[in-house]
Each structure stands twice: as C-alpha cells, then as structure tokens.
Chains A and B, each alone.
Chain A
Amino acid sequence: MVSGLTCGKLASWTIAAVLLQILGLSFFMIGFFPVKPTLPGFSGPESYRMPTCEPVLNAQDSELPPEKLRSFYKELSKVPPSYDRLVLMVIDGLPAEFVLGRDNKPPTKTMTEAMPYTQSLLSAGKARAYHAKAEPPTVTMPRLKAMVSGAVGGFLDVAFNFNTQALLDDNLLDQFKRIGWNLVMLGDETWIKLFPKLFIRQDGVSSFFVKDTIEVDFNISRHLDAELAAEDWNLLILHYLGLDHVGHIGGRHSILMAPKLKEMDDVIMMIHTHTILHQRNNAADTLLVVVSDHGMTSSGNHGGSSYEETDSLALFIGLSIENSDSAFNVPMSASQVDVAPTLALLFGVPIPNNNIGVILRGMLDSLTDEQRLRALQLNSWQMLRLLQEHSPGLLCGNLTGIGGDIGLLTNQDVDSTNEKLGYLFSKATSSHNMWLLRQTSDVTSNSNDDLELAVSSYYKFLGNASEWLSHRATDKPINLLLSGIAIMLISCILQLNIVFKLFKEVFIIERKHFSLSKELNQVWHIDESFTLIGILIHVLSLGASSMVEEEQYTWHFLTSTLFLIFLLSVIRSSLKTPASYFMKSNKHENNHPLRKSLSNEESGPTTNDKSSRSKQLHENYQASLILLVLILGRVLRGWHQGGVNWAHLPDISKLLIQTGDFYIKAFQIITLLGLMVLGSFAFSLVRRRISLVYIVWISYFICGFLVLLHIIDSQSNIIGPTYSSVNSMAQIIYICVGSVILFTVFVSPWVLPVDHEVGSVITGLKSSSQSNDMQSSSFLLGVRDCTYLIGTTFTVFWCLLQLLLQQRINDIPVLIVYLQEMASIIYFSSYRTKHRQWVEVAAMYFLGMTGHFGLGNSNSLATIDVAGAFIGISNHSTVLSGILMFIITYAAPLLAFLSMLIYISVKDMNDLLPNHPGLDTLHLMIGFPCLLPLVLNSVVLVAFTIILLLMRNHLFVWSVFSPKYLYLCASTVCVYIGVLIIAFTVVYTRSVLAVRSGVKSSLYTNSLDTKSVSDD
C-alpha cells in the first residue's frame, strides 16, 4: 500500500469516470444528432381547412371507406386529380448531370447518346426535369423516406439504413392506400422494409450483392410486360439498383455506365409507349416519374454532401406536361422533398403532414388559375401546421393582419423569423383573397398581375418556411452540446489522473527494485515521449477532413515508427556493455512457460562471457521479432489501399481478386492451417497440461475443421442467397466457439492445478517469511497460468470466428494482426526490454487500431461489411446482425484486447508485484491494460467531439466527421467491452484461485490468504 491506491478505489473511480463519459457522450449525441418535433398521425380531411390555434381533434372522417374518402377529398380540395395512375421509377444513384447536364450545359455526348429516348422527350418538351437536390446523408433509405414523406430525417437515419424498419410517419404511399389504391413494387427491398404490408405484389431484390449489375435489374424488368398490361394497380414502383452498383464497381466513368443508361432508357421508352401514349380512351391517365435517390462521386461512392452526390434527378413524363403550353427547356433546381407535395396534389391526396417540400414550379400549369392558387394554399396550410408544431403560437390571433414591416426581415433571431413567416403568410393569403375578389367583381384589368403576385408571395412563404424547417432539422442546442463536452472532459481528466497515480506508484516500486541500474532512473525514455507525441499528433490530425478520411496512414505511420524506436532501443542495448545486465539477469526466475521455452538457450548464465554471448543472441532474437512486426505491418498496409481518395489504387487485395477464386481459396486454407499450427503451439505452451487443456485443444481442431468445411462450401455461392446448409454450419461454429470460450473462462480456474513447489526458486526477497512467499508466488503463478490459457483460448477462437465472418480476402490480414500481437507480446515478455508497461500496452492498442484499418475498414460508413453480418442468421434479426457487424468491424482492436490477457499472463511482473499475499496487487497487474486503452480512447473522443462541434458548419460534416464520430462511439463501446473482458477474467480467476488456495491452506497453515479474497 505504497500510495494508498487500492484496487477498490481504483475500480470505483474508473467506473465513475466511464459512467460520466457515457452520460456526456449521450448528451452530445442527443444534441448533435437531434430528433426534431414531428406531427403524429396522418393528414386527413382537416388538411383542407385553414389551420387553427386549437389542437385539432382528429375527425373520424378518415375512417370512411376508401372510395368515399377519395371523393370526399376531391370535393374538399377543389383541385381535381390530374392523373389516376403513377409509375414511380427510381434509378438508384443516377446523377441528374447524366441526363440534364450541369450548369445549364447539356450532358456529355456519351450520356446523350446513351439515353436517346429520354433526351428526345426532353427536347420535345414532353417531359419536365428538375435537379432535385438531395439532403445528405445521400444513402438510399433516408432519401426514399424524404421523397415519399417530404420530410428530412436526421443523420442517424443512416445508422438504420441497413436495418430498415417500417416507415410510420405520414407518407404518400399510405395516403394512396387509404383512398383504395393498389400498389405494386418491383426492385430494391428497402421499399418492402419501409412498407411491409402495403403492396399487393412485390419482388424485392437485395442491394447487398454490389458486384452484380445485371441480375438486379433483370429481376425487375422481367415483370414489366405483365405489369404494364395489368390494370389492377394504381401505383407501380420500379427501383433499379444496377446503376448504383455500376458506380460502386467502376465509378462514374465505368464502361458499364453507358449500357446501363441505355437499359434504363429502354425501360422509360417501354413505359412511355405502353401506358402513356397508348392510353385507352379516357381511361386512367398515367404519370411516369423518374427519380434518383442520390448521385455519386466520380469514384462511384455516395453518402456525403458534395454536389455530385446530392444532384439527383426528378423527371415527370405525362400528358398534362405535354399539353401545357409553357415549354421549359432549362431544367430547374428543386429539392428532393418537393416531389412529395407535388405528387400529393396531382393525385388528390392530402399532403403528408411533416412535409417541408414546396410544389414544383411548372408542374401545375395544366390547372386553372384558381386551382393553382388553391394548391399553393393547401401546401401553405400544411406547412403552417408544421410550423406551429415547431413554435407554438405562431400566427395565433393575427392571421389576417398585415402589420408586418420590411425592417423585420433583416432580424435573424427566432422570434422575428416567426414574425417574418407570419408576415409572408398573411401577405400571400391577402393577395390570394384580393385575386379572388377581383375575379368575382369582374374587374379583369389587373387580374394577371394579381395572380402573379399571389403565386409569387405563396412561393416566397413556402420557400422561407421550407428553408427554416430544414434548418431546424440541423439546429443544435448549444448548451446541451457544451455540457456534454464538459462532462466528457471531466471524465477524461479523471481517467488521466487515475492513470497518472498508477504510473507514479509503479514508478516508485520500479525505483526500489532497480536502484542499481542507472538508465531506469531516467524519467522519460524516447519511446515514452514518442508515444505521447504520437497520441498528440493523431488527435491533431483528426481536425483535417482528409486525415480523417485517410486515417489508416496515420495509424500505420505512428505504429511503425513506435516499433522502429523499439528496434533502436534493442540495438542500443546490444551495443552497451554487458556487465550492467549481469546483476539483473540472475535474479529473475524463468518459471513462465512461454518465456522458458523461448529462451531456453540462456537459462543458466554462470559466467560473464556466457552471459554476454547469450545476451547477443537474445537481442538478435528480439530484433527479429520487431522486424517481423514491422514487415507484417507493411504487408498489412499494402493489403487494402483504404481511405477515400486513393481507394482505387492497386493493392494486394485487388490483385488477389483478379487472380481468381482458386488462389483466394488456397490462401484461405493456408491461413487456416497456419492458425491451427500457431494455436496448437500456443496451447502446447500451457505449463500444466491437464485434461481440460486437451479438451479445449481438441475442440479448437474441430472448430477449425468446421471453418475449413465452411470455406470450401461457401465458394460456390458468392453471389446469391446463402443456403441453409451454410447457415446451419455457421450456427454450429458460433455455438462451438461460444461454449468453448465460456467453458474455459468459467471452469479452468477451478481445475487448473496450483502447485506449491516453484516458489522456492525466488530469491532476493527482503522482509517476508518463506512460507508466505511460497504461497504468494504459487498463487500468482496459478493466476498467470490460468490467464494464459483463457487468453489463448480467446485469441485463437476469435481468429477462427473472423475467418468465418470476414470477407474472403481478409483472412491473411487477420492472421497478420494475430502474428503481430503475438510477436510483440513475446518481445515484451522477454525480461530485458526496458519499456515501461504503459508503452507496451499502448503499442498493443496501436497495433489493434492499425489492424482495424488494415482489415479494410475506414471512417466512411461504406466500408462496413454488411454481407458478413448475415452469415448464419436464418431470419432477419437486427440485433444479431448488428452484433456480427460489430465483431467483423472491430476484429482487430478486440483481438488486441484479448491478447492483452496473454500479455498479462506472460509479462514478467515479479519486480512490480510485492510478494505479500495480503497485499492488494490486482491493480498492478491489470491497471495499465485496462486503464490505458480507456484513457487513449477518451482523449481521442473528447478531442474529436470538440472538433466536431467546431466543424459543425464544415462542408464535410455529414460525409466525413459525423461518420467518424459514429465509428468513434463504436470504438468506445469496443474499448468498454475489451476492458470488461480483461478485468472480469483476471478478477474472476484470482478470486477463484484465492478461494481454492484459501481452502487448501486453512487445512494446515494460517488463514492469511482469505485477506486477498476480500481484497478482490
């Protein structure tokens, strides 16, 4: 009890700090990714009435049968539906630039030639096109939601993109269903997830098999003939994924792009000729709407907020457009949400109540002037209702008063924004009334001017309201954010303080033991200062968006430099005179299995000469270990190019994929065999080979064999649904791995023999009696043996699991990360390393993070391996696939944490651990391995939170910084899990062994050991 730092105190402070961190993090998350107020329920007939200040009681009108409701709406709205049938064709990932060109310039020649029919429609004025700006994040599901509901979701919608759940908010499709429409959906199964029971016919295709560009679209087009001939549907949704897949594979300028556009053009032509041109006389009018959910960057990715990604298309092809006289040739810019109110009014359903879109200009030209104004009025009323939800009391009382002043327009705070919107609304209403008055009073002179005034003032109100509402979605309560940051900062300081105290204590103990050697008295070593500088540089680098995108370089650079510094220190110590080591070398006992077997040649130094020769050997061996880590690290860096900007450059994985299936399979099997050999070697080093070890060993082989079968099996179906045999195989492996690990963790401390003989080897003890020494050392030895077995089980089974789950190309990287961790553990465990423990733990953590990026992960959500998350899951379960996704993504960091168990077991800590059994030594054993990752993560988390706050108006905040923040939160969870596993395993092992030795010793000696039980 040197500094009064006890285990319990340490643990409670740490838990407090972690809880604080969670609290602060959730504050910040809630503040930064807000959930904005929305109107519940669906809009019904009340949407055709002027909004009032009293809360609207939902009338039972909406309970009417569909047919009646439809006519009721028709009667109320006074805007007759222009069409009866709608074909909504979604082309995933089509940038509007391909069809409409950019900056008023026509599209490139190849693009024009690829879509001849569409271009002819456009130039003939038979179609109206818009650049529909999509809100980031530009991924499919939020964009579809925006189009059908007119509302903009928050950023966190992305997180649910892969885990789609039914859309419960008001939306067009449900409105259509209410008036008795029949809906048919062909294409992306996201629609089915959004609307599980809505369609009378559906054929969903999965977007997971990104490499397939033909089948996905053929699966839709094969139904077209039948569907176009059928008359039972009112809404036909076609969602083509192929173009997005082409982009993902080859980017915008892929050679597959022009054929794919031609295919889309053929579909448009087919629909147009079948349904619109050859309409049965006076039968249902059909409108074809071609939209894209988002664009793509030149490399074919999407998700961000660049022009290339947000520039999506909205193209309307229908009779009323052909008939309307005003021929717009210049495509207008609009917003993607504008599609929703436009379609609602064109088809005579209420506008969805959370809509922030504005009727597209030019789409209602076929209506009469009165109807146009009525449509705008309905849109305004709906928006006003939503505004009132955001700021209650808006426009109450003075709805008609035009007390507004132009001066108000310049003020920016919320109140005056309200007043400004109120003023604009009143102005629009009054000019509308004015126009109506003029119509009735037959004064025709200024009628056109009045109309223009009314239309423009409605649009002005709508535009302002829409903008304000969409800003509200991204508005952030600064107080919540700041308090979140403050709490996280406090937690971080608390953690730093704990680590510093621990460091001081270790330093004092170290000093006692090494008072002879001079170099250890030096306060800072070069490796320590570099680790600190490296952490600092990493934190600073996160402020630059491209450094966040290319974080893999940062980690590889820092880790390699750290290991180069280790190499330097080995070379340095090999050049030093050997005499200074002689003192130390024979007071260490060589009792640990791993160390013993690996340093057999030097176990008995008797003369100075011999010792120096063995030292030379030993140093060569250490240097070769570090070189192994470095070279493997470079291979890992070359495996996946990674990042965003240079992701297209050649790397080993692309090379391997090109060489073909056979080689990948061969590499997979080689990796598996290598892992089996390494794992067996690791098991063979367990000192006391009791039957338990053999059980684990054998089950390891069985699992390996199962994984081998899985690898051979899964070759045949890379693309396509997973078969049930493969699924059940994977399930068996999960059960095997899980049960073996649980079995080892819980049973091994009870059965592993604790021997009492080895303790006598220890020399150089000062104050305690012999029997206590023996007991304590055998106790510690037992703990370490047990931890070694558990750690080895954890790591090798974890790697097996990764071979099952990871992409096929990632098998060797997994082995590389494993080898790196093991090599560094062997290096650290050799007793002549002079690194402080915290540097070693930091190095292992660094290796884990480098491995995270080495496995092809990046800070973009696009690199998450979704396909792997469904291995062995028979029915769609969000939780299970989420867990699998986490396991795949954080394979390397978690492996680093698991190998820290081995590190704890083989690290020579006899100098640190006082040899009194009553002493509380747990915190010296697991203090750094548990606390340091927490601190490192906490520092990065706090720093990046501040960066995110500062960058909240940055162009890349949604595409770069926010995804990184989600990754950071996930890695925080990863650190918590890792630390929990380490702490639990060691504490459990110690307690069990303490109980066991307590039982034994109470038979013949005193009950000193019970103290250590209570301490744990």
Chain B
Amino acid sequence: MDNGEIAVSKALALHLLCTLGLAAGFFAAGIAYNLSLVTDPAQTLSFLLVFETPIVVASYSFVRRDHDRPYWEAVSMALFGLPVGALLNALGAIVLGAPVGPKYWISTIYWSCLMSLFTFVPAVCVFGWSRMDWQRIIANSKPKQATDCLVSLPAQGAIVGAWLGAWPMPLDWEMPWQEWPICVTYGAIAGYIVGMILSTVFVHVMKNHPHVKDD
C-alpha cells in the first residue's frame, strides 16, 4: 500500500459506495420530503451532503496512503478539509460568474461543500499533510500511482463536469433547471461518475502494466 497500490476491487467498491451515497441522497430527498434538485436545490443539496459526507470521509480515510497515521486523524482532517475545500470551490465558482445575491448564498454554500467532497476532501483523507504527495498530485497532470487515480480523476471529472454544466445557463430555454446551481450540480455529478469509472479502469490498467506510467 505504501507505494500507492490498491486492489481493483477495492477501488471499485469505493467508487460504488460514493455513487450509492449520492443515489441515496437523491432517493431520500425525493421519497421522504418530495424534494427534487430542480424545485428545491438547496434542500436537496443538503440531503446529498448528509448522505455523501460520511461515506466519502469514511471510505477515503480507509485508503489513506500513510497507514501509520491513525484512522481518526484522517477523518478529522477530512472534516477540517471540507470547509476549506468548500471555500476554494465557492471562490472559483464566483470568479467564474456564479451569482452572489442573498438569494443564492445557501445554495452556493451547499454546492461548494458538495464540490469539496468530490475534490478536496478525498485528497485530504488520502494524503494528509504530505507535501510530496500534494506536489505530485497538483504538479502532474497524469496520475502516476493508483491512489492518485482514485483521488484526482473523480475530482478532475467533477470540475470539468461542473464547468461544462454551466454552459446551458445563458440559453433562453426558460427551463427551471437552468438556474444556478442546478445544472452545474448535474454536470459535476455526471463528471464525477465518469471520473470514477475512469479511475477504476486506470487502477485496473496500472495493476496489469505497473510501469506504464513511469516511462
């Protein structure tokens, strides 16, 4: 585990859990309170957060790189990383044009927490404070180790998906889902899922050709 190896089944289970968490969030919001992302974005996002946070934190802390660190440390770091990542994501979204009126504050906060769960929290769980790991994950566009895939591909997928998800917003279709942050959330989730699929595939490829990335 120390050099970033991980079993394919483990990666698959991890990603399935994360997907299930999202699905459960949507399901619970829909069944229990009859909420949908389009009609009540803020509440639905809060449901997604409630279900997804424990799953992401628990499962990614489990695959932390440095197993000498205790489990609880990874978890607490993740809980600390959640608002930090949310802040970064919110700043990024606002700089890219997300509305800042009081009407949108709540949704923006929830959305950025969700994005933090997709992007920043897994990295904090897995790498902790290890400067080397952070350098590698940020400086290299291509992941070199299996755990890097696990962290970076879903994160990149979520960011690219959210970015693409913003494009329909100026269209004059007058659909309710064109509001911030609904379609961006859909895009992020779609990108996240694609990223997770790719990450599973990459982990599998790396397992079979361990030196393919070192060249």
> Which residues 151-210 of B have a CB within 8 angstroms of A?
163, 166-167, 169-173
In the assembled complex, the Cα of A933 lies from the Cα of B121 at a distance in Å of 41
The number of residues on chain B lying at the interface, defined by a beta carbon within 8 Å of a beta carbon of chain A, is 20
Is A572 located at the chain interface by the 8 A CB criterion?
yes
Contact call B134/A549, Cβ cutoff below 8 A: no
Given A546-B172, A553-B170, A643-B170 in contact, is the A561-B96 Cβ separation under 8 Å? yes
Is B138 located at the chain interface by the 8 A CB criterion?
yes
In the assembled complex, the Cα of A568 lies from the Cα of B156 at a distance in Å of 13
B119 CB to closest chain A CB (Å) equals 13
Is A187 located at the chain interface by the 8 A CB criterion?
no
Say whether chain B's binding surface is mostly helix, strand, loop, or mixed. loop
Is A278 located at the chain interface by the 8 A CB criterion?
no
Contact call A547/B170, Cβ cutoff below 8 A: yes
Note all chain B residues with C-beta closer than 8 A to A557: 96-97, 166
Of A146-154, A324-332, A373-381, A627-635, the one touching chain B: A627-635
Contact call A633/B95, Cβ cutoff below 8 A: yes
Contact call A572/B138, Cβ cutoff below 8 A: yes
Is A432 located at the chain interface by the 8 A CB criterion?
no
Is A143 located at the chain interface by the 8 A CB criterion?
no
* Most chain B beta-carbon contacts within 10 A, residue among A537, A549, A557, A650: A557
Is A576 located at the chain interface by the 8 A CB criterion?
yes
In the assembled complex, the Cα of A546 lies from the Cα of B167 at a distance in Å of 12
Is B139 located at the chain interface by the 8 A CB criterion?
yes
Q: CB-CB contacts of A617-638 with B at 8 A, as 1s and 0s?
A: 0000000000000110110011
Is B94 located at the chain interface by the 8 A CB criterion?
yes
In the assembled complex, the Cα of A288 lies from the Cα of B14 at a distance in Å of 81
Contact call A547/B96, Cβ cutoff below 8 A: no
> Which residues 68-95 of B have a CB within 8 angstroms of A?
92, 94-95
Residue from the list B92, B97, B138, B139 in contact with A637, Cβ < 8 A: B97
In the assembled complex, the Cα of A560 lies from the Cα of B139 at a distance in Å of 21
The A-B contact count (CB < 8 A) is 52
Contact call A576/B139, Cβ cutoff below 8 A: yes
Contact call B134/A634, Cβ cutoff below 8 A: no
Contact call B138/A564, Cβ cutoff below 8 A: no
In the assembled complex, the Cα of A630 lies from the Cα of B122 at a distance in Å of 27
Contact call B139/A564, Cβ cutoff below 8 A: no
In the assembled complex, the Cα of A270 lies from the Cα of B166 at a distance in Å of 56
Given A564-B92, A572-B138, A576-B135 in contact, is the A634-B97 Cβ separation under 8 Å? yes
Note all chain A residues with C-beta closer than 8 A to B138: 568, 571-572, 575
Contact call B139/A546, Cβ cutoff below 8 A: no
Note all chain B residues with C-beta closer than 8 A to A553: 97, 169-170
Note all chain A residues with C-beta closer than 8 A to B135: 575-576
In the assembled complex, the Cα of A560 lies from the Cα of B166 at a distance in Å of 13
Say whether chain A's binding surface is mostly helix, strand, loop, or mixed. helix
Is B141 located at the chain interface by the 8 A CB criterion?
yes
B96 CB to closest chain A CB (Å) equals 5
Is A784 located at the chain interface by the 8 A CB criterion?
no
Note all chain B residues with C-beta closer than 8 A to A561: 96, 163
> Which residues 715-729 of A have a CB within 8 angstroms of B?
none
Contact call A547/B166, Cβ cutoff below 8 A: no
Given A572-B138, A575-B138 in contact, is the A564-B95 Cβ separation under 8 Å? yes
In the assembled complex, the Cα of A554 lies from the Cα of B138 at a distance in Å of 27
Is A645 located at the chain interface by the 8 A CB criterion?
yes
A630 CB to closest chain B CB (Å) equals 5
B155 CB to closest chain A CB (Å) equals 13
Note all chain B residues with C-beta closer than 8 A to A544: 171
In the assembled complex, the Cα of A793 lies from the Cα of B141 at a distance in Å of 42
A555 CB to closest chain B CB (Å) equals 10
A393 CB to closest chain B CB (Å) equals 47
In the assembled complex, the Cα of A564 lies from the Cα of B91 at a distance in Å of 11
Note all chain A residues with C-beta closer than 8 A to B139: 572, 575-576
Q: CB-CB contacts of A521-561 with B at 8 A, as 1s and 0s?
A: 00000100000000001000100111101100110110011
Residue from the list B92, B101, B141, B171 in contact with A546, Cβ < 8 A: B171
A478 CB to closest chain B CB (Å) equals 30
In the assembled complex, the Cα of A568 lies from the Cα of B141 at a distance in Å of 11
Note all chain A residues with C-beta closer than 8 A to B101: 650
Given A572-B139, A575-B138 in contact, is the A546-B97 Cβ separation under 8 Å? no
Specify the chain A residue showing the minimal Cβ separation from B134.
Answer: A575
Specify the chain B residue showing the minimal Cβ separation from A519.
Answer: B139
Specify the chain B residue showing the minimal Cβ separation from A646.
Answer: B170
Given A547-B171, A575-B134 in contact, is the A556-B163 Cβ separation under 8 Å? no
Contact call A634/B170, Cβ cutoff below 8 A: no
Specify the chain B residue showing the minimal Cβ separation from A559.
Answer: B96
Contact call A634/B94, Cβ cutoff below 8 A: yes
Contact call B92/A645, Cβ cutoff below 8 A: no
* Most chain A beta-carbon contacts within 10 A, residue among B95, B134, B166: B95
Contact call B170/A564, Cβ cutoff below 8 A: no
Given A556-B97, A557-B96, A564-B92 in contact, is the A645-B166 Cβ separation under 8 Å? no
In the assembled complex, the Cα of A526 lies from the Cα of B163 at a distance in Å of 16
Contact call B95/A645, Cβ cutoff below 8 A: no
Note all chain B residues with C-beta closer than 8 A to A650: 101
A528 CB to closest chain B CB (Å) equals 13
Specify the chain B residue showing the minimal Cβ separation from A629.
Answer: B95
Contact call B95/A630, Cβ cutoff below 8 A: yes
Specify the chain A residue showing the minimal Cβ separation from B171.
Answer: A546
Note all chain A residues with C-beta closer than 8 A to B172: 545-546, 549, 645
In the assembled complex, the Cα of A638 lies from the Cα of B100 at a distance in Å of 9
B196 CB to closest chain A CB (Å) equals 22
In the assembled complex, the Cα of A557 lies from the Cα of B97 at a distance in Å of 7
In the assembled complex, the Cα of A853 lies from the Cα of B163 at a distance in Å of 21
What are 14 A-to-B residue pairs whose CB atoms are below 8 Å? Answer: A526-B141, A545-B172, A546-B173, A547-B170, A554-B170, A556-B97, A557-B97, A560-B97, A561-B163, A564-B95, A568-B138, A572-B138, A637-B97, A650-B101
Extra contacts, 19 of them, besides A541-B167, A546-B171, A634-B94 (Cβ < 8 A), are A526-B141, A550-B170, A553-B97, A553-B170, A556-B97, A557-B96, A560-B96, A560-B97, A564-B92, A564-B95, A568-B138, A572-B139, A575-B138, A630-B95, A634-B97, A637-B97, A643-B170, A645-B170, A645-B172
